[in-house]
Amino acid sequence: MTHVMLEGLTRRFDDVIAVNNLNLEVESGELIAFLGPSGCGKTTTLRMITGLLLPSEGDVQFDGKSMIAVPTEKRGAVMVFQKHLLFPTMDVARNVGFGLKMAGISKKEIDRRVSEMLELVHLPGFETRRPHELSGGQQQRIALARALIVRPNVLLLDEPLANLDANLRLEMRELIRTIQREMNITSIFVTHDQEEAVMLADRIALMFDGVLQQFDVPKAFYERPNSAEVAHFFRNDNFLAGTRHGDCVETGLGSLAILPDHVTQPDGKVVVTVRPEDIYLAPTSDENLIHVKVLAQVYMGTYKQVQLDVDGNKWLAHGPADLDIREGDTIPIQLPKTHIWLLPPVNGK
């Protein structure tokens, strides 16, 4: 197990700052995700960790030791790429055992460890097959086995599931998580898929434009986002301007009760947010009851998605599939104080 520390990590490409003063700590045996839109600096960070790129400023440390002057091949960090990059002229056994052969390991030991790795990725008996005889999912498993066979200190995965179909992605997510837990290896992966990050990671590092926005457990991004931008990335655009006064927030629709120990924003201008699934379209009490207009509704099978006009803001709410409402209706909804979260005001307003 390896403890990874990124301190003030910055990477510039001419006048473009791809990663800006990134500070982050990965515990030994932890699986974290770098999440964010394309071009936010995720892969650049991964390449600096493995040594394929040198930082313009800052440090990468493994177990307290700086890796900046350590060559890539001696860092003990291996990367699995989005494209599997298997050698087409080699069979599976030689592909998986390639790193051990380059290290001068005996053929007997290589054969033993290749067999062990193929069992681990659920492909026993595939030693003599060629890459072109494998499916995309099988090729990615072989790439994973090739990375793990050298027993790395840190496993880095750069969108390894992006080229797989939905069913194979789900299968590979489960496999990666199972292997990571069994081997207890410090692992860092890059993805732009929120669902993938939430399913796999112990903690998520969300980045926008080269800047770390929030580093937290997956649940926090839904329940305690740092900003409206973070909430939006996790598919929540339910925002209502207000002013906090102790245990309530004054809004254009009246006063809303909050739990003071639950929220973190101080008194003053705030943005109220409640996730769509936490809004009561069938109120259970008069507390935090507001009246809103139904703009649209979509039947989603197990629930009904309803678009609402909330003081001029378009909100989404999820209600029972058999909810009897019509577009244009004005209906009461309840914002339970246990699910109200306060965000800093946007642009100070």
Q: What is the pLDDT of residue 168?
A: 81
Give just the sign of the alpha carbon dihedral 222, 228, 234, 238: positive
Q: What is the pLDDT of residue 305?
A: 96
Element (H, E) at 308: strand 303-310
274/291 Cα distance (integer angstroms): 15
- The CA-based angle 272-278-284, given to 5 degrees, is 105
- What pTM does this model have? 0.91
177/61 Cα distance (integer angstroms): 24
Do 80 and 147 form a contact (C-beta atoms < 8 A)? yes
DSSP 119-183: HHTT-TT-TT--GGGS-HHHHHHHHHHHHHTT--SEEEEESTTTTS-HHHHHHHHHHHHHHHHHH
Q: What is the pLDDT of residue 1?
A: 79
Alpha carbon of 110 to those of 38, 73, 116, 214, 330: distances in Å? 38, 19, 10, 42, 70
239/34 Cα distance (integer angstroms): 26
Residues of the chain with pLDDT under 70: 348-349
The single-letter code of the amino acid at 17 is I
Q: What is the pLDDT of residue 83?
A: 76
Residue-wise pLDDT for 43-85, tens only, equals 999 999 999 999 999 999 999 999 999 999 899 999 988 777 8
Give me the domains of the chain, ranges plus CATH numbers: 4-223 (3.40.50.300), 236-348 (2.40.50.140)
Q: What is the pLDDT of residue 348?
A: 56
310/327 Cα distance (integer angstroms): 14
Side-chain-side CA neighbours of residue 274 (13 Å): 27
Residue-wise pLDDT for 194-234, tens only, equals 999 999 999 999 999 999 999 999 999 999 999 999 999 99
